[in-house]
Structure 1
Amino acid sequence: KVEQGVSKLIASKNESADMALEALLNGDLYRHKKQKQLVVLESKSSEGMQVVYLNEPSKSELITKKRAIKRVPVNNNLRREIRAYLAAKNLQHSNVEKRQAAVESLLSGADETALEIVHEQRQVEKNADILFLLDSVIALDSLESENTSIKLKAIETLSESLQPQVRNRLQKVVEKGEAPFSAAAEKALAKIQDKAEFYGWMETIFFGLSLGSVLVLAAIGLAITFGVMGCINMAHGELIMIGAYTTYVIQLLMPDSIGASIIVAIPAAFVVSGLVGIAIERGVIQFLKGRPLETLLATFGISLVLQQAVRSIFSPLNRSVETPEWMSGSIDINPIFSLTLNRLYIIIFCLAVFALLFFILKKTVLGLQVRAVSQNREMARAMGVRSEWVDALTFGLGSGIAGVAGVALSQLTNVGPNLGQSYIIDSFMVVVFGGVGNLWGTLVAGMSLGVANKLLEPVSGAVLAKILVLVFIILFIQKKPRGLFPQKGRAAEA
């Protein structure tokens, strides 16, 4: 009866019939025993199953008893028939994405009716990607041809495809061992493998840039404070952690607007971390100027206090920050290479923060004074620059940027009391490698170390990759003690 029903639904070519076929294909079509009608499962929860009546889509019902409805059975042959019908119908759909999805579904196999529509659509299709997919479907069908030239041409066409179904079919041709087709298929698979390796490298570099962006965001504030004040701030990681917890709190306050909460969290994290940074500078660091070892010990103690404060307020358990919908998903470049949106947004965000900070330091009065103090503190004071005021604002600016880095990190990992400890050593490595107090050095160093880590990880493992990077930096510092971009000025040169 189900087979007869499917045949009649396919023959009807009705929109409601398509809805029933899609529900049957996905296992969401049920029979209501009492009402003796077909219903489609809309959602399932602890309360029960929400269903919609097929004949009356506006009519819905919450089913609390599982026995009240029974799933309509479907076998693999019927699934294949339904899938082929829906794909053939969507081949001529006005929506590009639906057409592309329809063609991709036919790569697993197309019947004569679907192939006729493929050939027809091939003549009128304008989209280049869909045209290539149509050619691939035709080429896969041509692999069964008795004509040698047609079969060899089909293999040549398929050598440009990265679809997994294509690779599987070509592998079967190789396994058959029929000359000259097996040799041509091996050559095609080698060409596909070369492309796959290339895109594998591209993916590694993308992940490296995203890691580098996090390192830049984490280190850029440290580079400013270290360059201007000569202060080794071991609490910098905890300022990143405060920014991440600020994001978590903002989401708790805006549970119905997760997408907007992340935008609100950026300035909030900057302000909160910046104020904490100014408090640290005014309360402790200003009394320890010129004594870097003592600032290291003092800020290490502050980091422990901040960690314990967070444990007391939020508990030692990690907290999860929800990713907004507009940051979820990925951009598919091809079947084997895609760019995840959250990492892509972090790269863009890093560059935007860098550009804004570069503008502040190069085009504002504060930036001019920061550069003056970092190059020659005594001369700047002689010219009327209030170095104490510059120190406080600089430390606040660097701390605020650390908080912004925490916002970015909250989208990649869980938020916890030890979040900052994972990045403080990496931040110092970036600062030392790039050149103390140099923004461009921090950007280049952060991106370079991020890519280097990701390139080494598949070969040596994550831990050994970090060790190798550290050894490289030690050797590099032996050759260039002041980093890639050394700071200029009499005080710096001295």
Structure 2
Amino acid sequence: MKILKIILLNLLILTSLVASNLQTDSQELLSNSFSTKEKAILDLTKKYKDDEKLEVLLQKLLIGDLYFTKEHKRIVFLKEKNNNNYLTADIFSNEELREASKYDFVKVKINNKLRNVINASLSKINLFSKNEDKRLSSAKNLLKYLKVEDNELIVEALESEKSSSVRDILDEANTILIAQYGTNQEKYEAVDKLGSFISTKSLSTLKDVLKNSDDEKLKDIASRSVDIVELKKSFYSLVETAFFGLSLGSVLLLAAIGLAITFGVMKVINMAHGELIMIGAYTTYTIQQLLPNLIEYSVIIAIPAAFIVSGLVGILIERLVIRYLYGRPLETLLATFGVSLILQQLVRTIYSPLNQEVKTPSWMSGAFEVNSALSLTYNRLYIVVFALMVFLAILYVMKKTSLGLKVRAVSQNRPIARAMGIKSSFIDAATFGIGSGIAGV
């Protein structure tokens, strides 16, 4: 027990010394010289890259919240502004200081060059994090701000890295540095290898080799690699464009399904169909306003709600207007156009003519990154999947249910369907409601 206490005491002393050394060395950041600050940041990163407090210090410096007290040169970060007073806390101990006048503090200023240095330093610190996402983000940032001084760090990280996605980025960064600063033979191999990467950084490196190198053999290899990279990028660009087109086509598919159902059964061209889509959108907005704490689930709640609201509006339109105009396509077209104007003005009156923001849930934000040249946004992926699900659901209803059988019967031969006991007026209302509901979703 006594030995354990001694070990714990030594660990506490060691931790205290590390914090103290970091705290002492950080005083260089208080200089008015930007070059001194740059050297201090690089030295701190090299010496304390495993210390979490350095990451906090650099982050506060980057966002402009790092200050020091005029009296004791104590480095603090800003927690809250209260008129001319600042509430701050010690950057190393996190101890909250008493509120003081802003004139008692001096801001640690940085310029654009230092911002790049800090970003690069944060990348180096996070490169050895236990969190894979942090390491991946760090590797990407390191590749973006790549310098020859990073070579040793990249090699060290490559030796310990287990994740294949992080290793690929580090390998690319290492290959670029070899292509720029290696021996002739190393450059030949590195430039040839760069053809297997498709990032903008690799492509710009290859183009620099083509432009600045006097070695004809190296330029030939670089030219082949550039052709390979550009061919891959054009292919992935085509895939991305096709995906965007597919997602947009999915939205149009949902709109077209509703129109096709109403026209196929009732021979009515619904000019208010776009306004029914609008009602679905405003249903989502209304749900988010009524349930502000359920933004993550608002879209899931809004899908059935939009179907019901738009469907009921569609049934109302059919019962009040369209049922009196069957067999007169021109009149139904003009009548539904008038209904569309009424719905537009109604929405303007209730919600105002200004655009209203519908918040995207976090699970629909971001993108699935296939590689550096191809990213598929999650919201578009969900649109494609959702449109397919709705299409299959409608197909099932029309092919496998009693309602679908009656709808098909009325669309093929209305008089015979009525003679068989099918209430065509009910089918008309239900069909118009379903078509309007699909527009709403």
* Structure 1 equivalent of residue 187 of structure 2: 151
Tell me how far 1:104 sits from its aligned partner: 2.5
Measured in 2, the distance between the counterparts of 1:231 and 1:35 equals 81
Structure-2 change in CA distance of 1:194 and 1:317 (3 Å) = same
Q: Which moved more, 1:365-374 or 1:184-193?
A: 184-193
Tell me how far 1:374 sits from its aligned partner: 1.3
1:313-362 alpha-carbon deviations (Å, 9 max, x no partner):
22322322222222222222222321122222222221121122222222
Q: How many residues align?
A: 402
Measured in 2, the distance between the counterparts of 1:66 and 1:193 equals 54
Q: Which residue of 317, 325, 335 corresponds with 2:372?
A: 335
1:355 aligns with 2:382: no
Contact kept in structure 1, 2:55 and 2:125, CA below 8 Å:
no
* Structure 2 equivalent of residue 54 of structure 1: 91
Q: Which moved more, 1:379-388 or 1:3-12?
A: 3-12
Normalising by structure 2, what TM-score? 0.81
Measured in 2, the distance between the counterparts of 1:50 and 1:203 equals 49
1:282 aligns with 2:319: yes
Letter in 2 for 1:397: I
Tell me how far 1:115 sits from its aligned partner: 3.0
Letter in 1 for 2:285: Y
Aligned pairs (5 A) from 1:97-116: 97-107=133-143, 108-110=145-147, 114-116=150-152
Contact kept in structure 2, 1:152 and 1:181, CA below 8 Å:
yes
Measured in 2, the distance between the counterparts of 1:353 and 1:61 equals 60
Aligned pairs (5 A) from 1:335-484: 335-404=372-441
Query: Which of the two has higher C-alpha Rg?
Result: 2
Tell me how far 1:292 sits from its aligned partner: 1.5
User: What secondary structure, in the 3-state scheme, does the structure 2 residue paired with 1:339 have?
Assistant: strand
> Root-mean-square deviation (CA), in Å?
3.0
User: What secondary structure, in the 3-state scheme, does the structure 1 residue paired with 2:286 have?
Assistant: helix
Tell me how far 1:366 sits from its aligned partner: 1.0
Letter in 1 for 2:237: G
Tell me how far 1:145 sits from its aligned partner: 4.5
Tell me how far 1:98 sits from its aligned partner: 2.1
* Structure 1 equivalent of residue 52 of structure 2: 15
* Structure 1 equivalent of residue 209 of structure 2: 173
* Structure 1 equivalent of residue 7 of structure 2: none
Measured in 2, the distance between the counterparts of 1:116 and 1:203 equals 36
Measured in 2, the distance between the counterparts of 1:47 and 1:326 equals 41
User: What secondary structure, in the 3-state scheme, does the structure 2 residue paired with 1:40 have?
Assistant: strand
User: What secondary structure, in the 3-state scheme, does the structure 1 residue paired with 2:292 have?
Assistant: coil
Tell me how far 1:152 sits from its aligned partner: 0.7
Aligned pairs (5 A) from 1:53-72: 53-57=90-94, 59=96, 67=103, 69-72=105-108
1:313 aligns with 2:354: no
Measured in 1, the distance between the counterparts of 2:389 and 2:77 equals 47
Identity %: 47
Measured in 2, the distance between the counterparts of 1:251 and 1:219 equals 27
1:166-212 alpha-carbon deviations (Å, 9 max, x no partner):
22222221111312222222222222111121121112111111110
Measured in 2, the distance between the counterparts of 1:302 and 1:241 equals 13
Tell me how far 1:27 sits from its aligned partner: 3.9
* Structure 2 equivalent of residue 197 of structure 1: 234
Measured in 1, the distance between the counterparts of 2:357 and 2:414 equals 44
1:119-176 alpha-carbon deviations (Å, 9 max, x no partner):
3443454433333223222212212446322111100111122222222222221111
1:221 aligns with 2:258: yes
Letter in 1 for 2:405: L
> Structure 1 unaligned runs (5+)?
405-494
Contact kept in structure 2, 1:176 and 1:182, CA below 8 Å:
no
Contact kept in structure 1, 2:45 and 2:121, CA below 8 Å:
no
Aligned pairs (5 A) from 1:178-257: 178=214, 179-257=216-294
> Structure 2 unaligned runs (5+)?
1-27, 30-36
Tell me how far 1:22 sits from its aligned partner: 3.4
Tell me how far 1:8 sits from its aligned partner: 5.0
Measured in 2, the distance between the counterparts of 1:399 and 1:233 equals 10
Aligned pairs (5 A) from 1:117-156: 117-145=153-181, 147-156=183-192
Measured in 1, the distance between the counterparts of 2:352 and 2:182 equals 71
Tell me how far 1:390 sits from its aligned partner: 0.9
1:73 aligns with 2:109: yes
* Structure 2 equivalent of residue 164 of structure 1: 200
Contact kept in structure 2, 1:84 and 1:110, CA below 8 Å:
no
Letter in 1 for 2:370: I
Contact kept in structure 2, 1:243 and 1:273, CA below 8 Å:
yes
* Structure 2 equivalent of residue 442 of structure 1: none
Tell me how far 1:111 sits from its aligned partner: 5.0
Measured in 1, the distance between the counterparts of 2:212 and 2:374 equals 30
Choose between structure 1 and 2 for higher RCO, CA contacts under 8 A separated by at least 6 residues: 1
User: What secondary structure, in the 3-state scheme, does the structure 1 residue paired with 2:404 have?
Assistant: helix
Measured in 1, the distance between the counterparts of 2:265 and 2:433 equals 12
Letter in 2 for 1:275: L
Measured in 2, the distance between the counterparts of 1:11 and 1:292 equals 80
1:258-288 alpha-carbon deviations (Å, 9 max, x no partner):
2222222222211111111111111121122
Contact kept in structure 2, 1:9 and 1:18, CA below 8 Å:
no
1:40 aligns with 2:77: yes
Structure-2 change in CA distance of 1:73 and 1:384 (3 Å) = same
1:387-416 alpha-carbon deviations (Å, 9 max, x no partner):
111111111111111111xxxxxxxxxxxx
